[in-house]
Structure 1
Amino acid sequence: MMDFDDQDDERTLKEKVEKFQMGLICRATGETQLDDHVFIRLRQELLQEVAIANRLPDFVRRCRNNDQFWQFIKAKFPSYAERRKYIWDGFAPTFEHLEAQHRGVAIPPISEALQTFDPAHVTDIWQKALDRRLSDPDGAITAARTLLETVCKHVLDDAGETYPSNADLPKLWLLAATRLNLAPSQHQEETFKAILGGCQTIVNGLGTIRNKIGDAHGQGRNPIRPQPRHAELAVNLAGTMASFLVSTWKEKYEGKIG
Structure 2
Amino acid sequence: MQQGISHALARVVGNILGRYYYSHREIHALLCGAGARTNPPEGNPNCENEITRWLLQESERDPGAAVVILGKILEEFMECDFTRNLHTDEDKAKEKTRLIQFLADNGMSYAKGGKLLTAGIGASSKTLIEHIKEGNFAEIEIEVERALKTVDQDPPAAVTAACSLLESLCKAYIEDESLAWPTSKTLSPLWSVTAKHIGLSPDQLHDQDLKRILSGLFSIVEGIAAFRTHAGSAHGREKGAYRISPRHARFSVNAAHTLASFVMETWKARKEAKS
TM-score by length of 2: 0.61
Task: Give distance in 2, aligned partners of 1:238 and 1:53.
Answer: 26
Offset at 1:131? 1.3
Map 1:99-110 onto structure 2 (within 5 A).
99=109, 101=119, 103-110=121-128
Task: Give distance in 2, aligned partners of 1:80 and 1:160.
Answer: 54
**For 1:160, what is the secondary structure of its paired residue?**
coil
Instruction: Answer yes or no: is 1:168 the counterpart of 2:186.
Output: yes
Instruction: Answer yes or no: is 1:233 the counterpart of 2:248.
Output: no
Report the residue type matching 1:196 in the other structure. Answer: L
Offset at 1:185? 1.0
Given that residues 117 and 246 in structure 1 are in contact (C-alpha distance below 8 angstroms), is that contact kept between their aligned partners in structure 2?
A: no
Report the residue type matching 1:175 in the other structure. Answer: V
1:133 aligns with one of 132, 151, 170 = 151
Q: What are the ranges of 5 or more consecutive residues in structure 2 without an aligned counterpart?
A: 1-15, 24-28, 37-61, 74-83, 110-117
Instruction: Answer yes or no: is 1:54 the counterpart of 2:72.
Output: no
User: What corresponds to 2:173 in structure 1?
Assistant: 155
Identity %: 28
Instruction: Answer yes or no: is 1:98 the counterpart of 2:108.
Output: yes
1:209 aligns with one of 213, 219, 227 = 227
Q: What are the ranges of 5 or more consecutive residues in structure 1 without an aligned counterpart?
A: 1-20, 30-38, 61-73
Offset at 1:196? 0.9
Given that residues 28 and 80 in structure 1 are in contact (C-alpha distance below 8 angstroms), is that contact kept between their aligned partners in structure 2?
A: no
Task: Give distance in 2, aligned partners of 1:101 and 1:217.
Answer: 23
Offset at 1:114? 2.7
Offset at 1:102? 5.5
User: What corresponds to 1:15 in structure 2?
Assistant: none
1:122 aligns with one of 98, 123, 140 = 140
Report the residue type matching 1:219 in the other structure. Answer: R
> C-alpha deviations, 1:108-161, integer Å up to 9, x for none?
112112322334331121111111111110110000000000001111111110
Task: Give distance in 2, aligned partners of 1:80 and 1:252.
Answer: 51
Task: Give distance in 2, aligned partners of 1:139 and 1:28.
Answer: 38
User: What corresponds to 2:261 in structure 1?
Assistant: 243
Task: Give distance in 1, aligned partners of 2:244 and 2:198.
Answer: 33
Given that residues 114 and 243 in structure 1 are in contact (C-alpha distance below 8 angstroms), is that contact kept between their aligned partners in structure 2?
A: no
What root-mean-square deviation, in Å, do the aligned CA atoms of Structure 1 and Structure 2 show? 3.9
Q: Structure 1 pair 47/150, CA: closer, same or farther in 2 (3 Å)?
A: farther
Offset at 1:47? 4.1
TM-score by length of 1: 0.64
